[in-house]
């Protein structure tokens, strides 16, 4: 086993509360416990390709625990498909060369689904990589939770709490759009915690008539307002069927032409789905004859000071990451498991999403208190 002397850190994908806590934990543990040199690459994999980095020490890692975002910056650039001087280039060989040029013994990548797929590409180039799971969507598999989820959940819940006041005052339907393109953890959790009357998530295709019926039943019982929490990726039964058919067509495609056609069909469906929450509001108005208003939480869910739970999670996993590297770990994600941690092969994580199962306890709890899920 090669002795580690120098490691690199990067944050990739969407920004998330707790990233700085994770950078701090990896860096401080590496420096204090093992005496390693630590550098951080700017703007995710792009900074690694362009060899832009900063050197960390105890002083530069101090004071960042409670700061939102990431001091390193981030991007969604993919190593094998980067736009350099207006052209799409495969930069994996350049990244591998920079890894060796900087005499790195390991690279720590902090990110979500895309980050893990890209980490796997670098592993195939001979780099020693360990990852940490980060995303407000909580859709990275094989970990109890992801860095950033708890903060985003708290922000979304507080927003729904506040929307209750105006909904009650004006006797309206208030629809709160929460982030979550493929996975409904954030909308489901915030909807339950915020007492939403209906929760719509990507995993459960909805029938707008059933949502309207639930709202009208509330009105008949004397409740003059309703709160609907909807994930941005939630789809009606008919739209979900169209997406499923397009995805099957893409998976079955064998030639480049077939794959291109399938991608175009999916892109067209995605484009049509933009603004779906506004359309949902109009449909509910027509069906219930009640006034509906939409509040799109958007990027506010990513911002601000990370919660104590996210700081604790990031510190636990970050410190464990350094110790695992010292023990020879490579090609694994450090996952939260109970009060401890475990390792999961990155190959197993990449390309997989943790979706809300139909039999999950949160689903059962929502139904138990009478929340409409639109099905």
* Active site residues per annotation: 137
> 83: closest CA among 40, 126, 46?
46
Q: Which residues of 33-53 are buried (b: 16+ CB within 10 A; e: fewer)?
A: ebebbbbbbbbbbbbbbbeeb
Beta bridge partner(s), residue 295: 176
Q: How many CB atoms lie within 10 A of CB 360?
A: 15
CB 166 within 8 A of CB 285: no
SS3 353: coil
Q: How far apart are CA 308 and CA 286, in angstroms?
A: 43
> 275: closest CA among 170, 136, 140, 177?
177
Q: How far is CA 322 from CA 21, 85, 375, in A?
A: 14, 36, 46
Maximal C-alpha separation, the chain? 71
Within its chain, how far is the Cα of 115 from the centroid? 11
């Amino acid at each position: 086993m090669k002795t580690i002397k120098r490691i690199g850190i990067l944050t990739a994908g969407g920004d998330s509360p707790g990233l700085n806590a994770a950078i701090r934990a990896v860096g401080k543990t590496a420096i204090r416990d093992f005496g390693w040199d630590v550098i951080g690459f700017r703007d995710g994999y792009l900074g690694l390709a362009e060899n832009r980095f900063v050197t960390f020490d105890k002083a530069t890692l101090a004071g960042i625990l409670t700061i939102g975002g990431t001091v390193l910056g981030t991007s969604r650039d993919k190593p094998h498909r980067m736009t350099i001087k207006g052209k799409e280039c495969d930069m994996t060989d350049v990244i591998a060369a920079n890894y060796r040029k900087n005499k790195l013994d390991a690279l720590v990548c902090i990110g979500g689904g895309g980050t893990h797929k890209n980490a796997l590409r670098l592993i195939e180039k001979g780099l020693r990589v360990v990852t940490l799971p980060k995303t407000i969507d909580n859709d990275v598999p094989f970990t109890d939770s992801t860095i950033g989820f708890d903060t985003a959940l708290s922000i979304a819940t507080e927003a729904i709490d506040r929307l209750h006041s105006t909904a009650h005052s004006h006797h309206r339907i208030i629809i709160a759009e929460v982030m979550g393109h493929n996975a409904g953890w954030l909308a489901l959790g915030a909807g339950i915690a915020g007492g939403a009357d209906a929760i719509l998530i990507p995993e459960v295709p909805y029938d707008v008539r059933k949502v309207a019926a639930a709202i009208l039943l509330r009105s008949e019982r004397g409740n003059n307002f309703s709160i609907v929490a909807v994930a941005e990726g939630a789809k009606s039964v008919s739209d979900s069927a169209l997406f499923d058919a397009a995805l099957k067509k893409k998976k079955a495609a064998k030639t480049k032409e077939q794959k291109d056609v399938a991608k175009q069909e999916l892109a067209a469906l995605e484009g049509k789905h933009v603004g779906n929450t506004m359309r949902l509001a109009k449909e509910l108005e027509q069906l219930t004859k009640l006034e509906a208003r939409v509040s799109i939480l958007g990027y506010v869910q990513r911002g601000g000071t990370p919660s104590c739970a996210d700081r604790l999670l990031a510190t636990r996993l970050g410190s464990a990451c350094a110790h695992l590297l010292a023990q020879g770990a490579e090609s694994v994600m450090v996952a939260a498991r109970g009060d401890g941690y475990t390792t999961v092969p990155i190959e197993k994580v990449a390309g997989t999403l943790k979706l809300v199962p139909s039999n999950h306890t949160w689903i059962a709890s929502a139904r138990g208190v009478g929340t409409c899920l639109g099905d």
